[in-house]
Homo-oligomer: A and B are copies of this chain.
Amino acid sequence: MADSVVVFSGGMDSTVLLAALIHEKKRVHALSFDYGSRHNKREIECARAFCRENSVEHTIITLPFVNDLFKSSLLQSGTEVPDGSYMEENMKSTVVPFRNGIMLSIAAGLAESVGAAEVAIASHSGDHFIYPDCRPDFNHAFAQAVLLGTGGKVRVKFPFAGMDKRAIGDMGRELGVDFAATWTCYKGGDIHCGTCGACDERKYALGFSSGFDPTSYSIPDNEIDNP
C-alpha cells in the first residue's frame, strides 16, 4: 500500500521529488509513461534503475496512441526537436497536447485503485512559459477536478510548482541524487546533446558553468545565455 503515486519520468526533477518523498519516509509508488517521445526510452532506463536501487514499486504504462495521433516535435512521429533556449518561442513545438492532464488522470485512477490518497508530480515554475499544463492555474483546477472526480479520495500535489529547476538541482544535491543517472535531453541520443532547450535548462539547473554538472554532453559549450 502506497501513500503517494508519483509521476516519475526518470528525469532530474521527478528523481529529486521521489528522493525527497523517500527521505520523508513516504511509501511511494512510481508511475512512468512511455508515450512515444524520442527520449522516453532513455528516461525509462533511468527510472527503472532508480526504482530497483531504492526498492520502489514501479509501474510503467505505455500510451502508444499519443505518438500515433498527437502532434508534437517531442514525439518520434513529430518534426525535429529545436535547439536553443528553453524560453524561446520555437520550444513550443515540444508541447505534447494535455500530456500532464493525461498522466495525472491515469495516476489519479491508479491511486484510487491502490488506496493511495495522493498523486505527486514534479512540474516546476521553469515549465510555465512553454507548457500550459504546468501552470499554477491549471494545477489548481486539475487538483480540484481529481478531488471531486474521486469522491474526495485523491489529492494531487505539485511540490515544485513554486521552485525553478536550479532550486530542484540544489535540493537533489543535498539529498545525494546521482544526476548522472537521470535523463533530460529531448533528442534521446546516446548522450545528452547539450544544445536542445531541455539540455540548456539542465545545464543551468545543475550549475554547468560552475563545474557542478556531472552530465556528459555531446556539445558541452554552446553559446546560450541562461536566465
Contact = CB atoms under 8 A, between A and B. Distances in A.
A188 interface: no
A144 interface: yes
Interface residues of A, number: 39
Interface string A122-153: 00000000001101011001101110111100
Interface string A177-203: 000000000000000000000000000
B141 A113 contact: no
Given A59-B69, A132-B150, A148-B132, A102 B100 contact: no
This protein's copies in its complex = 2
Contact of A145 (B96, B101, B114): B101
A51 interface: no
A58 interface: no
Given A59-B69, A142-B149, A109 B102 contact: yes
A132 B144 contact: no
A66 interface: yes
Interface string A98-117: 11111011101111111000
A60 to B, nearest CB: 9
A150 B72 CA distance: 13
Nearest to A97: B112
Interface in A3-48: none
A212 interface: no
B98 A146 contact: yes
Given A101-B146, A141-B149, 19 more contacts: A59-B69, A69-B110, A70-B113, A96-B109, A97-B110, A97-B112, A97-B113, A98-B105, A98-B146, A100-B149, A102-B102, A102-B106, A132-B148, A133-B150, A135-B148, A141-B141, A141-B144, A141-B145, A144-B144
